[in-house]
């Protein structure tokens, strides 16, 4: 059975009315200003824009989170803004935020440094890994052997504070 069209006075009705949209056409046009391989990076950029008062939307995030292999095929997760906000949004995203705020810089003076090489790339080991691994192999359960030492990534030196 053929589809019937809706007609009024011999004229078919349009599906979408465009009456009065000419004034707001520039306002509604969205421009892609960023493409990201993961949605997390798009949300970071969106947060920076919203902090400055620029509204934006993220496209294709769900598709890429379901199957990340599609990321290159469809152009990644897209960040779009209004065409009137393109210049402001690009300027916001191009400026590099200060990576280390003043509070962190002040705390850096109190960091623990390696006593041999003075590196600040150190970490605290609470448990000894080798004995825990051996107990896991022999007993089937890893037993926590406390180590409680600092270790330097640079030179490998270990010390207790």
How do the domains of the chain map onto residue ranges? 25-94, 108-159
Give CA–CA dist 74/78, Å, rounded.
Answer: 10
pLDDT of residue 29: 85
Q: What is the pLDDT tens value at each position of the chain, 161 positions in all? A: 444 444 444 555 444 444 444 444 445 688 999 999 889 999 999 999 999 999 999 999 999 888 888 888 898 999 999 989 999 999 999 987 665 556 555 555 457 778 888 887 888 888 788 888 898 899 988 888 888 888 888 888 888 87
pLDDT of residue 122: 85
Helices (H), 57-128: 61-66, 71-74, 86-94, 102-107
pLDDT of residue 8: 46
Give CA–CA dist 73/13, Å, rounded.
Answer: 38
């Amino acid at each position: 059975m053929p589809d019937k069209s809706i007609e009024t006075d011999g004229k078919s009705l349009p599906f979408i009315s465009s009456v009065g949209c000419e004034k707001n056409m520039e306002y509604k046009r969205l421009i892609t200003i960023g493409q990201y391989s993961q949605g997390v990076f798009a949300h970071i950029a969106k947060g920076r824009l919203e902090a400055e008062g620029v509204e934006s939307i993220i496209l294709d995030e769900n598709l890429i989170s379901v199957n990340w292999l599609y990321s290159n095929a469809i152009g990644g997760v897209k960040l779009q803004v209004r065409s009137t906000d393109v210049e402001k949004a690009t300027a916001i995203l191009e400026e590099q935020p200060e990576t280390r705020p003043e509070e962190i810089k002040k705390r850096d003076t109190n960091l623990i440094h390696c006593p041999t090489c003075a590196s600040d790339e150190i970490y605290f080991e609470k448990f000894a890994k080798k004995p825990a691994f051996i107990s896991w192999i022999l007993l089937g359960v890893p037993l926590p052997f406390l180590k409680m030492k600092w270790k330097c990534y640079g030179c490998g030196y270990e010390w207790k504070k």
